[in-house]
Amino acid sequence: MSRLRTKFSTGYGRTLAVVLLLLLLFVLLQSLLIQRARQLGLQKTLQQSFVSEQNLLRAQLRDPLLRGDYVQVRALLEGYFEQDALIAGVALQAPNGFMLYQAERPQPSTGLRQAQLEIAVAGELLGRLQLRRSDGQVPGWWGRHSLKVTSGLLLLTLVFGFLVWRVVRRYGLDPLSSAVAREQQAYAALFEQSREAIVVLSPQGEVERMNPAAARLLGLAGDQTGLAIRELHSTTVWPQVEALLAAVVRQGQAAQEVCLTTRRRQVEIRASRLKFGDDDHIQLLLQDVTERRQAEAELEALRLELRRNLESYQELFDHSADGLVLRDFNGLLLMANQTYLRMVGYSLEELLGTHCTLLCQRSNCNHFSDLLHNGVTRFECAHRHRDGSWVPVEVRSALVHFQGSQAVLTSVRDIRERREREARLQLLSLVMENSSEGVLVTDSSGSIQAVNQAFSRISGYSEAEVLGQNPRLLQSGSHGPEFYQQLWQQLRQQGSWQGEIWNRAKSGENFPAWLQIRALCDEQGTLRHYVALFADLREAKAWEEKMLKLAQTDPLTGMANRVLLRDRLQQALKRASRKQVGVAVLAVGLDHFKKINDSLGHAVGDQVLVEIGQRLRDCVRAEDTFSRLSGDEFALLVCGLRNDEATQIAIKVLEAVRAPLQLDGMELFLSASIGIACYPDDGADDSALLENADRAMHQAKLQGRDRFCFFSSDFARRASEHFSIERHLRRAIEAGELQLYYQPQVSLADGRLVGAEALLRWQSAELGWVTPDRMIPVAESSGLILPIGQWVLATSCDLIRRHQAATGDWLRIAVNVSVRQFQTAGFVETVRQILQQSEVPPACLELELTESLMMNDVAQAIPLLEELHALGVALALDDFGTGYTSLAYLKRFPVDRVKLDRAFVTDIHRSRSDAALAQSLVAFASAMEFELVAEGIEEAVQHERLRQIGFAYGQGYLFAKPLPEAEFLALVRAGQPLIH
């Protein structure tokens, strides 16, 4: 026994020590884990805050960096750096490496966060931002010493456990005997003090022991030891008790309810067999169930009444606005009303006996403990519909008694509509708080109840400064009392008002805003609140002014543009109509300005335009308007004309333009052509005056430039004819109204046909025959000469090809090339493609170019002529003698033929000078080895004289007039000499 005590004591001591050690370890580890979790959570929160701070600062800097507003950039960065002492450093570097802003302050080396980010818009880098921030978190005493404390406490626990084990082992402490004694005492006290009646019998049915509760129940007094149990029951009840005792002997336990007739009590007897050592005993537990049986009877009556009432309550149950569900303590469904069944889409038969997790998430079971503790619980969750969707619900559960046991009655309310309303309210709140427009809410008396962040940003007032105040603190004094009277009158009558208003910010600055006010009433129509939304119009006003300036002024010269000129011209015409005064519009065009751009570059051209614009400003009065209409065209509006003021102003402008211009060490000389149109003679509206002034300017250019010209009706007629020809000419190309006529070129020696010149003719369905001198200028100015010229080349080559196919002989055709066609990019390639497509040898095509075309830009003309010559195409210099071609330039041009103009042929048999020119040209042509062709030979004497001088070829009416294609081909194929 001593060995057993020693072993148990040793084991008990060890167990106690281990339990204490594990308990302390658990507490310490839990503390460490909580501290670590807090530190990790703090670090994560700080990092998220730092990232959000970076994104916000980048968003604030993007717009001013894009605008180049570095003053605002520095102000933003200084404010950011100064407002937070934990900011260790801020640096903003431009894309080129220039440091736009840099600020630092000393911070501890630990707990320092750094970030470097780029600010870009649409892929364009605007700057690089570097941030350094200190966490500002000093670890607490526990954070610094937790490891040391934990280690120390662990060591102390080990020592304490060891000492406990040694004490128990040394003094032989045995908790087993103490426990047995305590158990015996507890059983004796329980037996004597138990409120339940207990009787211990011998196997023979004699009472061995009875507690006071049993004596009171049986109506006995004193010690009844040895009393036979049979004596306590009547003869009618004893057989039941006897059977009970026999069953206990056989089975070990049994129960029976009997009636004590002497006491008129109903007693429930539960018997069980006991064994003390080697002796068997029977223990009877007697319970008076008289009152319980009476209560059960009453309950049965109530149950019957309840059953009768259930049918009435069932209808109320099913038609409840909320879903009602009754479940037992195991979560199994007992009842559900129709509202709930419709909510989840199941029938009652499908749900009876199902667990609550069929329709809701298992985590909802966590609320069961609250239900047991408080008797009720309330929470929100979601129930699964039969179709798989989730229905948000509000659940309220309470403990109830149902059919004799506890159950859970749950009210389930569908909160989908409420959630939607809450989401809308949350969204509206979020929109209000993050709106770029200021929001102000007052009560019915005008006391401010709430404002958003935009209000504080725009007005400068914080929310705390304005709460309880009246919106009158924003009045700027820019509006009179009648303005506010009208505002409040409309607000009371219509419930809303909107318009532009001037408010005053906290700084004292007045600023424009677009204000919208709405009165909010409750369901009874009682006024509750006013809500005001206002947008800051400062930037919009500034942008509007900037856009208006850009829309009405020329960005290069700062002059009024066409839009502003027309507006002022319309106003001037209205004043002139009322006051019966004159108005003049002067259209000013710089002469040969294109040469400056082409030779000196557009930068120099822009400088010239700026200088000319400044000179023109000095030529006008303050009330007049000078405008730049396009590249090198200006317009001057002169109001209140008297006598010949328009002429004087035009002369003054011409003199201002003629003055030498000094630019970058160069001296430039310019001239201008001016067209003048006067109101009311030359037009009654702004469009007519501007058009007529422009026509007069072009007429001045045609008259030799460097002059002014007044508009006349003849200009209008020619302009109208020009427009009509252009309109019909566009349709003529599509309608196939253009034709080619061919004028033969012959040998002056024998009259043999050697080629022909293709001449364009047009027979319009509306205009009839249109002569080339009317058609060609219109085609040149409108650009139609390009498609027409290409058509002429293709048609001529097609004729050459068809003639060769029919006769086997190649024919040479000369085609006139315009200046615009020659200067078009890709002209040489166009000629090459036409020759390749028509399969015509290049030598059969001759291109005639005028003197003015070649001399307009010699440097550009010569390379193009050389490309054409290299292609194999014959080149002819047309109208020689009418321009300024010198023999030196003629020597540089790679031409095959020179055509003497008809002006020198007409009087060649009478004029010595014409004959001398022709003889000189023959001598030069002989030396340079190119051919000569005389144009416009109409008389035999001209033919004879030219032949004598040495001209080999000629063309004119003497030989044949221009012929349609069919007549020309017939003439060629006839093979007859054309000299009669």
DSSP result, 617-652? HTTS-TTSEEEE-SSSEEEEEEEEE-TTHHHHHHHH
**Model pLDDT for residues 848-889, shown as the tens digit of each residue:** 988 766 666 677 788 888 898 899 999 988 877 665 555 556
CATH number at residue 200: 3.30.450.20
Rounded mean pLDDT of 104-128? 77
Asked if 741 and 650 sit in the same domain, the reply is no
The residues near 974 (Cβ < 8 Å, ≥ 6 apart) are none
**Model pLDDT for residues 709-729, shown as the tens digit of each residue:** 888 766 556 666 777 888 888
**Model pLDDT for residues 409-441, shown as the tens digit of each residue:** 888 888 888 888 777 767 766 766 667 788 888
Q: Which domain holds residue 607?
A: 553-711
User: Which pLDDT does position 797 carry in this prediction?
Assistant: 94
**Model pLDDT for residues 149-169, shown as the tens digit of each residue:** 666 766 776 777 677 666 655
Asked if 835 and 686 sit in the same domain, the reply is no
Asked if 644 and 689 sit in the same domain, the reply is yes
User: Which pLDDT does position 9 carry in this prediction?
Assistant: 44
Exposed/middle/buried for 975, CB within 10 Å: 0-12, 13-18, 19+?
exposed
Asked if 191 and 278 sit in the same domain, the reply is yes
What is residue 843's DSSP assignment?
G
Q: What is the 3-state secondary structure (H, E, C) of 300-326?
A: HHHHHHHHHHHHHHHHHHHCCCCEEEE
- Lowest pLDDT segment from 136-140, 202-206, 739-743, 939-943: 136-140
pLDDT at 483 exceeding the cut of 70: yes
Rounded mean pLDDT of 499-523? 86
Asked if 758 and 686 sit in the same domain, the reply is no
User: Which pLDDT band, with edges at 50, 70 and 90, does 2 fall under?
Assistant: very low
Strand-strand pairing, 207-210 and 197-201: antiparallel
pLDDT at 173 exceeding the cut of 60: no
User: Which pLDDT does position 795 carry in this prediction?
Assistant: 93
Residue 565 to residue 560: CA distance in whole angstroms: 6
User: Which pLDDT does position 452 carry in this prediction?
Assistant: 84
Is residue 32 a part of any domain in this protein? no
- Lowest pLDDT segment from 349-358, 732-741, 914-923: 914-923
User: Which pLDDT does position 664 carry in this prediction?
Assistant: 77
For residues 10 and 170, the model is more confident at 170
**Model pLDDT for residues 234-248, shown as the tens digit of each residue:** 777 778 787 877 787
Q: Kindly state the helix (H) or strand (E) to which residue 745 belongs, with its residue range.
A: strand 738-747
Rounded mean pLDDT of 904-915? 83
Summary mean pLDDT of the chain: 80
Q: Tell me how many domains the chain contains.
A: 5
Asked if 518 and 583 sit in the same domain, the reply is no
Is residue 139 a part of any domain in this protein? no
pTM here is 0.40
CATH number at residue 899: 3.20.20.450
User: Which pLDDT band, with edges at 50, 70 and 90, does 831 fall under?
Assistant: very high
User: Which pLDDT band, with edges at 50, 70 and 90, does 962 fall under?
Assistant: very high
- Lowest pLDDT segment from 331-335, 642-646, 781-785: 642-646
Is residue 142 a part of any domain in this protein? no
CB 839 within 8 Å of CB 801: yes
Asked if 412 and 507 sit in the same domain, the reply is no
Residue 573 to residue 578: CA distance in whole angstroms: 9
Asked if 406 and 473 sit in the same domain, the reply is no
Rounded mean pLDDT of 545-558? 70
pLDDT at 648 exceeding the cut of 90: no
What is residue 910's DSSP assignment?
T
Q: Kindly state the helix (H) or strand (E) to which residue 924 belongs, with its residue range.
A: helix 912-928
* φ, ψ for residue 185, nearest 5 deg: -65, -40
Within 319-461, residue ranges assigned H as helices are 338-344, 348-351, 368-374, 416-434, 453-459
Rounded mean pLDDT of 548-558? 71
Is residue 163 a part of any domain in this protein? no
Asked if 398 and 498 sit in the same domain, the reply is no
Asked if 666 and 810 sit in the same domain, the reply is no
User: Which pLDDT does position 550 carry in this prediction?
Assistant: 62
Is residue 336 a part of any domain in this protein? yes
User: Which pLDDT does position 923 carry in this prediction?
Assistant: 82
Residue 931 to residue 951: CA distance in whole angstroms: 8
Is residue 68 a part of any domain in this protein? no
Is residue 307 a part of any domain in this protein? no
Asked if 680 and 816 sit in the same domain, the reply is no
**Model pLDDT for residues 750-766, shown as the tens digit of each residue:** 889 999 999 999 988 88
Rounded mean pLDDT of 132-137? 72
**Model pLDDT for residues 364-392, shown as the tens digit of each residue:** 777 777 787 888 888 888 888 988 888 89
Q: Given 711, 741, 773, which residue is the final one in a domain?
A: 711
CATH number at residue 574: 3.30.70.270
Rounded mean pLDDT of 214-220? 77
Longest dimension (CA), the chain: 185
Residue entry with tokens 């604030």: 60
Residue 414 to residue 336: CA distance in whole angstroms: 15
pLDDT at 37 exceeding the cut of 80: no
CA 857 to chain CA centroid, Å, is 52
Q: Given 686, 711, 736, which residue is the final one in a domain?
A: 711
CB 66 within 8 Å of CB 126: yes
User: Which pLDDT does position 810 carry in this prediction?
Assistant: 93
User: Which pLDDT band, with edges at 50, 70 and 90, does 519 fall under?
Assistant: confident
For residues 231 and 273, the model is more confident at 273
Q: Which two tokens stand for residue 854?
A: 């070649």
Asked if 751 and 825 sit in the same domain, the reply is yes
Sequential DSSP letters for 47-59 = HHHHHHHHHHHHH
pLDDT at 552 exceeding the cut of 80: no
| Percentage of the chain modeled with pLDDT above 90 | 10
Q: Given 482, 512, 542, which residue is the final one in a domain?
A: 542
Is residue 816 a part of any domain in this protein? yes
